[in-house]
Every structure is written in structure tokens, then in C-alpha cells.
């Protein structure tokens, strides 16, 4: 069970970030608290952060922290200072955010492939 104080530990994500996808293409994301218990992530088309192309939300609902994107949902299993881990509710993978000592954010996505072997992908975000 999480409360608003615990939810607000996601504040390390606030701001504008630049990352690179698995194909090496840059992406631009902005994280903002848009209401108490709601963190919105907006992906933008470019470095001007002017043209939103996608969005997801993380919300506090009845003691649970849920992330939702395009019909997929995840539930927080850990929420600490500088770290959040989400497990799939109806999504193909798990993910986590971790603040690194140099101020970057490490994003790790974990899933199991069709043969049952664990897989992972790591991306790093830096402040824009």
C-alpha cells in the first residue's frame, strides 16, 4: 500500500529528459505532476518539447500506484527515493526507473521471450 507521500518520491523524474531507443534514435520525454497523485509522461517529437506525440500516466489509486500506457497497465512493487519498480498487470513486460549518481535515469525493461528465457533492455535518460 502506498500513500501520497510515498507516491511523491517519483519527483526525481520531474523535468525534461533525452534518451535513445534500442535503435539509437533519440527521444524526448517530459515528466510532470499534473494533479495530486498523478504523474504524466509526455513524449515529444523533438528537442523543442513542443509537439507531443504520446503520453502515459502514473497514478495513485486506493493505495496502489498504477502506470498506464496505450491500454497496458503496471503496478508498482517498489517505490523508494530515486527508484521505482513496476510489474505487469496486463502488459508484456516489467520496468524500473533508477536515479544514478550522475543525475541520469536508468530505465530497465524486463520480459520473458517465447522460449521462456529472461530478457532485458536498459536505456539511460539525461536532463534536456
Integer-rounded Cα radius of gyration of the chain: 14
Share of the chain above pLDDT 70, in %: 100
Nearest to 102 by CA among 86, 122, 126: 126
65-80 pLDDT, tens digit each: 999 999 999 999 999 9
**pLDDT single digits (tens) 73-123:** 999 999 999 999 999 999 999 999 999 999 999 999 999 999 999 999 999
91 is in which domain, residue-wise?
Answer: 4-127
Confidence band for 31, pLDDT divided at 50, 70 and 90: very high
What is the rounded average pLDDT for all residues in the chain?
A: 97
Q: What domain count does the chain have? A: 1
CATH number, residue 44: 2.40.128.20
CA neighbor of 18 nearest in space, from 5, 7, 29? 29
CA-CA distances (angstroms) from residue 82 to 37, 117, 126?
17, 29, 14
For the cut 90, the answer to whether the pLDDT of residue 22 exceeds it is no
3 state DSSP class of 10:
helix
pLDDT at 96: 98
Amino acid at each position: 500500500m502506498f500513500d501520497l507521500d510515498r507516491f511523491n518520491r517519483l519527483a526525481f523524474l520531474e523535468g525534461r529528459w533525452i534518451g535513445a531507443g534500442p535503435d539509437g534514435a533519440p527521444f524526448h520525454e517530459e515528466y510532470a505532476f499534473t494533479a495530486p497523485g498523478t504523474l504524466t509522461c509526455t513524449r515529444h517529437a523533438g528537442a523543442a518539447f513542443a509537439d507531443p506525440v504520446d503520453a502515459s500516466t502514473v497514478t495513485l489509486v486506493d493505495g496502489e500506484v498504477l502506470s498506464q500506457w496505450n491500454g497496458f497497465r503496471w503496478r508498482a512493487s517498489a517505490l523508494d527515493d530515486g527508484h521505482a519498480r513496476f510489474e505487469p498487470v496486463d502488459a508484456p513486460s516489467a520496468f524500473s526507473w533508477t536515479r544514478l549518481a550522475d543525475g541520469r535515469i536508468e530505465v530497465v525493461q524486463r520480459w520473458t521471450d517465447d522460449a521462456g528465457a529472461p530478457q532485458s533492455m536498459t536505456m539511460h535518460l539525461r536532463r534536456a
